[in-house]
Amino acid sequence: MEFKENAKPIYLQIADRICDEILAGVYKPDSRVPSVREYAITVQVNANTVMRSYLHLAAKDIIANRRGIGFFTTSDAIERIHQWRKAEFFDHEANYFFSRLSTMGITPEALEKLYAEYLESKQNQITQS
């Protein structure tokens, strides 16, 4: 895994990757995720870093430790990830995003049109795959 320099701490980047994998269906609800050691080998980091990622996701009830068996996704992991990411966006990114739109003179109507075009192009990519 390539990590972004001067961005989020590595354990949070790994947590984001695991969330992306859950959303992509790699790990289904109530399914086992790789052990800390297995995942550390996959992303080529120290097992302690992965453990920190797992504990972070467990604190958000996205994964849970089943004693003696390992970590599993929670039944509502997808909904929790969506809630968490929406909150993060509105708490940390939206003000900057809206400020940039304002300084560039982009109206809500123009933004709505651009977003609709973006969604349409994404849908076209999916249907062409």
Is the model more confident about 4 or about 92?
Answer: 92
Using one digit for the tens of pLDDT, what is the confidence trace for 51-80?
999 999 999 999 999 999 999 999 999 999
Instruction: Say if 3 falls within a structural domain.
Output: no
Instruction: Say if 95 falls within a structural domain.
Output: no
Instruction: Say if 42 falls within a structural domain.
Output: yes
The domain of 50 spans: 10-77
Rounded CA separation 72/35 (Å): 10
In this prediction, residue 123 carries a pLDDT of 87
Confidence of residue 92 (pLDDT cuts 50, 70, 90): confident
Token pair for 77:
């992991």
Handedness of CA 85, 88, 89, 90 (dihedral sign): positive
- Model-level pTM greater than 0.85? no
Q: Is the pLDDT of residue 104 over 80?
A: yes
Instruction: Say if 55 falls within a structural domain.
Output: yes
Instruction: Say if 21 falls within a structural domain.
Output: yes
Instruction: Say if 68 falls within a structural domain.
Output: yes
Instruction: Say if 88 falls within a structural domain.
Output: no
Say how many domains are in the chain.
1
Q: Is the pLDDT of residue 98 over 70?
A: yes
In this prediction, residue 2 carries a pLDDT of 72
Instruction: Say if 48 falls within a structural domain.
Output: yes
Q: Kindly report the CATH number assigned to the domain that includes residue 64.
A: 1.10.10.10
Q: What percent of the chain has pLDDT over 90?
A: 82
Q: Is the pLDDT of residue 10 over 70?
A: yes
